[in-house]
Amino acid sequence: MSEIIRKTLIIALCLVLSKVLHLQVGIFLVLYGIIIANNCPVNRLPVMLRILAPSFLAAVGASFVNQIFSAHPFIIWTLSVVYFDHIRKKTDTSVKARSAIFPLFNVIFIDTFANSSDFVLVVPDLIRDLFVSIFLASAIAYLVNLLLPIKLKKIQTPVVTLPVSGAERLKILILVGGGLAFLMLNEVTSATFCLVPVITSVMQPTYGHMKKEVEKRIITQVGGCCSAMFLSILFMGTEINVATFFLVSFGLVFTLMKWCECPDPVERSIHNDAVLGILVPFQLYIGKYGNNFGLDLIALRTVELVLALGVVYCVAIMLGKNQLART
């Protein structure tokens, strides 16, 4: 029970601070808090910062590229695609794939916002907020861990070998690179976070695994948005008062963490992803607009997720059939 309370306290404090500090990208404070609470086995600040540093460095690198080639979006996209290919070339296990998700996403995030007419001027603020989020999440986790020492259970996660072939590298270039091109051309900043489940799906070792991953993400991410709509109505107005918002957030996160306590690794993975599916829209929309329900924005995110995952699913079916035909 103390381990659940420890994780809940870290994530709930990150949720509250992301609202109180009015960060441009407060969602990263919550995401980093979840990563540290679930994946850091020791209470040492250097270890926590080392876990989160690659995503920040990727964002800084993307920011420099966008500043240097601000008048040439095609060069920005090309360099980003080269980076995607480099990461996929180095990713030969499932452990490395999980570590690569946030650096890849942060490049997409910065590219999309830097090429949007509405957000191009706030990119320096985004980098600052990412930096602040990393140190705040690490500091909160460190202090909470002093009060409630870490008692993480050693769970043997099976390491899956991922093929690194030309076809696999081309797959991520077409789907993730194509998704980035669509976001940059159409300035669809609201759909940026939808590429996270796309990246995880594309990283799967076979087309059959891709379809299963998409099906899982539809349940957890789209289901999470539907749950967030219910929570939006249930918790409306609580975010106006900080103490009330903390109590509500603590209760919600505690319930989700308790729900994630299951022995089956497959079910636990689904539950953990569902937690993200619920907490991301909870932070993005419910804890941001006061008494506004935010239902329209949550519904828009749901549609964007269905469309993005639907494209990946159709591609997996077509490529899977072609592979069977050749064999």
pLDDT digit string, tens, across residues 165-218: 888 888 889 899 999 999 999 888 888 888 888 888 888 888 888 888 898 888
Q: Is the dihedral of CA 240, 18, 141, 259 positive or negative?
A: positive
**Rounded-to-integer distance, Cα 303 and Cα 306, Å:** 5
**What tokens appear for 245 in the block?**
């918002």
pLDDT of residue 272: 79
Residues of the chain with pLDDT under 50: none
* Dihedral over Cα of 27, 272, 42, 5: its sign: positive
Q: Residue 60: its pLDDT value, please?
A: 94
Lookup result for tokens 């079910």: 267
Instruction: Write down the number of H helices and E strands in the chain.
Output: 13, 0
Supply the pLDDT for residue 288: 57
Query: In sequence order, what are the beta bridge partners of 93?
Result: 161
For 53, 81, 146, 170, the CA distances from 176, given in Å and listed in that order, are 22, 8, 40, 10
Q: Are 8 and 147 in contact (CB under 8 A)?
A: no
Radius of gyration for the chain, computed over Cα atoms and rounded to the nearest angstrom: 19
pTM value is: 0.89
pLDDT of residue 323: 65
C-beta atoms surrounding 268 within 10 Å: 15
Burial call 173-183: b when 16+ CB within 10 Å, e when fewer: bebbbebbbeb
Q: What pLDDT is recorded for position 104?
A: 93
- 80 contacts 180 by C-beta, under 8 angstroms: yes
pLDDT for 324 equals 61
Mapped onto helix, strand or coil, the DSSP state of residue 96 is helix
Average pLDDT over the chain reads 85
Q: Given the structure tokens 């619920």, which residue do they identify?
A: 278
